[in-house]
Amino acid sequence: MTMHVQIGHTPDRGFDDPLGLMSDCHRRIESFLAALQRVAETPDGRLDDERRRALSAALAYFRDAAPKHTADEEESLIPRLRALGDERVRPLLAAAEHLERDHALAEALHARVERIGEVWLRKGSLPEEALVAVRRDLAALHGLYTAHIALEDDRLFPGARAALSEADLAAIGREMAQRRGIDAQGGSV
């Protein structure tokens, strides 16, 4: 079983294209979630070195990087859409409310996966009931993210790109960079 997971992957787009960068983040979410699911399918609940590295990397991603993505949407993108006060963005705002509820559910599921995953890393194995629980939570996350990401990539981001000004998009990009401790041109802050 070969698992390729990469933290620190250079995104396809930069902070000058914040919506594209958010979409790139979705690919990382999908990749790290798939890695977690592959690790959880281990038949005896034991971690070999490869599974341990994959589990550790994926847990770190969802603990450290994914919350920044959620903040990008909830603190930068969605407030700007709400501030438009434009009737044309009403469907986007309805979608955004649904997405915010998804974020809360995903956070709760990730907290459970994190707890089990940390025990797994410490002990090197999990009993069957813990494997069943983590598989159930990962399946729920997979279903949630499949619909959530499709809604964002197919509706929210294209609608936001059409509705927001270049100045708004540039400000979102700067805020995203700041959350990551870098300036919008890619240097350290």
| Cβ atoms < 10 Å from Cβ of 48 | 12
Which pLDDT value is given to residue 11? 52
Fold annotation for 18-179:
Four Helix Bundle (Hemerythrin (Met), subunit A) (1.20.120)
Which residue do the tokens 């698992």 mark? 3
Arithmetic mean of pLDDT, 95-106 = 95
71-87 pLDDT, tens digit each:
999 999 999 999 998 89
- On whether the CB atoms of residues 56 and 121 are closer than 8 A, the answer is yes
Q: Tell me the pTM.
A: 0.89
22-60 pLDDT, tens digit each:
999 999 999 999 999 999 999 899 999 999 999 999 999
pLDDT at 125 > cutoff 90: yes
Secondary structure letter of residue 43 according to DSSP = T
Which pLDDT value is given to residue 3? 44
- On whether the CB atoms of residues 188 and 30 are closer than 8 A, the answer is no
The residues spanned by each domain of the chain are 18-179
User: How many percent of the chain have pLDDT more than 90?
Assistant: 86
d(CA 64, CA 110): 12
Q: For residue 47, report the phi and psi dihedrals to the nearest 5 degrees.
A: -100, 125
- On whether the CB atoms of residues 14 and 116 are closer than 8 A, the answer is no
139-178 pLDDT, tens digit each:
999 999 999 999 999 999 999 999 999 999 999 999 999 9
